[in-house]
Chain A
Amino acid sequence: MISMNPILEIEGLSLAAKSKKQLVTNVSLSVGAGESLGIVGESGSGKSLTLRSILGLLPRGVEQVSGVIKCDGRAAMIFQDPRGALDPLCPVVRQLAEVVYYRQNVSRRASRTIALELLEMLGLPDSLKHTDRYPSQLSGGQCQRIVIAIALACKPGILLCDEPTTALDVTVQQQIIETITRLQSELGFAIVFVTHNLAIAAAMCSKLCVMKEGKIVERGDSLSLLQNPQDPYTQMLINAVLPLPEFERSAGV
């Protein structure tokens, strides 16, 4: 799985807690410019930590033990809990403008104009532009769009998505995914999409990695991986997304 022109390359990455507990073991992956890669696995499998290590922002108490991360171009990230990802005491437009100001080296006034353009690009209502709205006054989907706008303000070469739809309603999930794909085709950034939902990952990404207990157990093109899973864990995940009607009934759901 070596891309011709990788924008992100990870070689033999291992992460461990300060208590020496191994969290991620020998993970290698690479993503080409404009490509999208899905990382699938259950919670605690180390997929989110892998993302954080790309940004160099590991949580306190977690260390990179070995491995090389090479990232050409800027990385930006969007998160699982969109409301938590915004400062609750700062109006959203001001947060967005602040990022534009520091990332794009423009004047304060210009940064606000650019911020408003970004809001429009993400299909956010005009009401957000005029009044100072705080995250608590926005819906989850709107917050996630703001977070995406903040990521875009960094002009990323690669967008890291950490379960960006898990905390949202099903209908909103669909809109957010469509927005991300649309923006990718317009702006041409690469995507690393971390999720526990195999269906979403397969729909969004051409390539997939399956992670379990900090290791990559299987990887390949989305289509072939879905049709012909090798690892029993991948099979289990596939069964979990496409439950047969009998199965649902017998489980008493």
Chain B
Amino acid sequence: MIKSSNLLRKFVDIDSPRRWLLLALIRAAVVIICVVTAVFFIIRIVPGDPAKMILGEYSTPEAIESMHHTLGLDLPLWEQFVRFVQNLLINGDTGSSIISGTSSRELIAERAPVTLLLIAMASLLAILISLVLATLAATHKDRLLDHMIRIFPTITLGMPVFWVGLLLILIFSVRLGWFPVGGVGEGVTGTLHSLILPAITVAFSQIPTLIRSLRAQMLEVLESDFVVTLKAAGIPNRVILMKHVLRNSALPTLMLLGVNISYLIGGTLVVEQVFGIKGIGSLLFSSISKRDFPVIQGIALYCAISVVIISLLIEIASWRLDPRTKGK
């Protein structure tokens, strides 16, 4: 790593944006290589024989041996790894399902759209809600509204996301009947309608951290000299808030969301289970109950790679949006 970046320095101008971009790309690539390695080794590090787990404790030695052969576990470790990487590069795949024989890539691709839609809706909701609440808190600092909003993260920090989902189902689906109790509806409106509660649930787990940092960020911006300049120059408060303060607080929030995207995806997997949504999460749990190793590995790999790529994109986006990184 260190040597290669020294080498790079010779070829690329030291402070050029291109070098920054290149280093960010290399870092992401190295992390992806580590992720692939980790996914390969996770079933080997963790105690327990995968074949035994698949077949159960009381299987015959012959059955276990033949399962070892099917999984390729009888080969030397390095050869297993080479095969794993080969298969991944050629097919984008971590092997075929032990149960159905379908490639894990196809199984995941089939379930991905709902999960992605849910993640997108949840991120959007999380950003909107925290933006509104943090703005209200920051502009009403130390008044009742601020205290009420500040208590919110303290209370919600310890709320299990599945429990929040259950309560929402109880209140809005069972009692009020506004939403279906579970599953995904038909058509575009049906789908969106049935995903509203799950999206709120996932967003709920993100809002505490977002509010906390966004409020602190906004207070810092509100206290800064340039806000005084604008106020002194007679720009209406509303314009200062919407045009200047929000923009300045938005960048760090975007970064934070990039860091938290991993938690958001994890929460989505659990929430799918609560609402009976047939996405990646339910595929994960059914694979786990069937001990379907290649599929579990595939889910882990695709989730992790998405996290790395999304974080990279957000990093690049906020770097492009910040004029302070240019022209220097």
User: A residues engaging B (CB < 8 A)?
Assistant: 52, 55, 57, 59-60, 74-77, 79, 81, 84-90, 95, 98-99, 102-103, 134, 136-137, 147, 150-151, 153-154
Whether B61 is near chain A, meaning CB under 8 Å from some CB there, is no
Q: Which of B225, B233, B251 has the most CB of A within 10 A?
A: B233
Neighbouring B residues of A153 by C-beta, 8 Å: 233
Across the two chains, which residue of chain A brings its CB closest to B141?
A60
> A102 contacts B236, CB within 8 Å?
yes
- Other 9 A-B pairs with CB < 8 A, given A79-B229, A87-B230, A102-B236: A52-B228, A57-B231, A76-B233, A79-B225, A98-B239, A99-B233, A137-B327, A147-B229, A151-B232
- A89, B234: Cβ atoms under 8 Å? no
Produce 1/0 per residue, B218-237, CB < 8 A to A.
00000111101111111110
- Is B52 in the interface zone, CB < 8 Å from A? no
Q: Min CB distance, A19 to chain B, in Å?
A: 13
Residues of B within 8 A of A151 (CB): 232-233
Q: Which residues of B contact A103 (CB under 8 A)?
A: 233-234
By a CB distance below 8 angstroms, the chain A residues around B230 are: 87, 95, 99
Q: Residues of B contacting A102 with CB < 8 Å?
A: 233-236, 239
| Known A84-B226, A85-B225, A147-B229: A134·B235 in contact at CB below 8 Å | no
Number of A-B residue pairs, CB cutoff 8 Å, is: 86
A sample of 6 inter-chain contacts (CB < 8 A) reads A60-B141, A85-B229, A88-B323, A151-B232, A151-B233, A154-B233
Which 8 A-B pairs have CB atoms at the shortest separation, nearest pair first? A134-B323, A84-B225, A137-B327, A99-B233, A136-B324, A85-B225, A85-B229, A77-B232
In the complex, chain B residues whose CB is within 8 Å of the CB of A55: 228, 231-232
Chain A min CB distance to B327 (Å): 4
Q: Knowing A60-B141, A150-B229 are in contact, say whether A99-B234 is a contact too (CB < 8 A).
A: yes
Shortest CB distance A109–B (Å)? 18
**B10 is an interface residue with CB less than 8 A from chain A:** no
B328 at the interface (CB under 8 A from A): yes
Query: Which residues in B have their C-beta under 8 angstroms from that of A85?
Result: 225-226, 228-229
Inter-chain CA distance A88–B229, complex, in Å, is 13
Is B68 an interface position by the 8 A CB rule?
no
B248 within 8 A of A: yes
Give Cα A180–Cα B98 distance, bound, in whole angstroms: 80
Q: Which residues of B pack against A, CB within 8 Å? A: 141, 223-226, 228-236, 239, 243-244, 247-248, 251, 321-324, 326-328
**Set of chain A residues within 8 Å of B229, measured between Cβ atoms:** 77, 79, 85-86, 147, 150
Q: Say yes or no: A57 contacts B228, CB within 8 Å.
A: yes
Known pairs A134-B324, A154-B233; A79 contacts B228 (CB<8 A): yes
User: How near does chain A come to B323, taking the closest CB pair, in angstroms?
Assistant: 4
Q: How far is the CB of A71 from chain B (nearest CB, A)?
A: 12
Q: Is the interface of B mostly helix, strand, loop or mixed?
A: helix
Q: How far is the CA of A75 from the CA of B322 in the complex (A)?
A: 32
Q: Residue A88 contacts which of B141, B324, B327 (CB distance < 8 angstroms)?
A: B324
Q: Which residues does chain B contribute within 8 Å of A76, judged by CB atoms?
A: 232-233
A103 and B234 alpha carbons, distance in the complex (Å):
7
Distance in Å: Cβ of B158 to nearest Cβ of chain A: 31
Q: How far is the CA of A55 from the CA of B232 in the complex (A)?
A: 7
Q: Which residues of A contact B225 (CB under 8 A)?
A: 79, 81, 84-85
Contact of A57 among B232, B323, B326 (CB under 8 A): B232
In the complex, the answer to whether A137 meets B323 with C-beta atoms within 8 Å is yes
Chain B residue, CB-CB nearest to A82:
B225
| Known contacts A87-B244, A103-B234; A60 and B228 CB within 8 A of each other | no
Given contacts A57-B228, A60-B223, whether A88 and B234 have CB atoms under 8 Å apart is no
Closest to B244 in A: A87
Minimal Cβ-Cβ distance residue in B for A101: B235
Scoring A55, A75, A95 by chain B CB atoms within 10 A of each residue's CB, the highest score goes to A95
Question: Could you tell me the distance between the alpha carbons of A153 and B235 in the complex, rounded to whole angstroms?
Answer: 12
Q: How far is the CA of A55 from the CA of B225 in the complex (A)?
A: 14
Residue of B nearest to A153 (CB): B233
Min CB distance, A28 to chain B, in Å? 23
Q: Which residues of A contact B323 (CB under 8 A)?
A: 88-89, 134, 136-137
- What is the bound-complex CA distance between A75 and B232, given in angstroms? 8
How far is B141's CA from A75's CA once the two chains are assembled, in angstroms? 27
Assembled-state Cα–Cα distance A150/B230 (Å): 9
Q: Say whether B233 contacts A136, CB under 8 Å.
A: no
Tell me the smallest distance from the CB of B240 to a CB of chain A, in Å. 9
> CA–CA, A86 to B327, complex, Å?
17
Give the distance to chain B from A123, nearest Cβ to Cβ, in Å.
20
**A74, B233: Cα distance in complex, Å:** 10
Would B235 and A98 count as touching, CB distance under 8 A?
Answer: yes
CB distance from B95 to the nearest CB of A (A): 48
Compute how far the CA of A84 lies from the CA of B227 in the bound complex, rounded to whole angstroms.
9
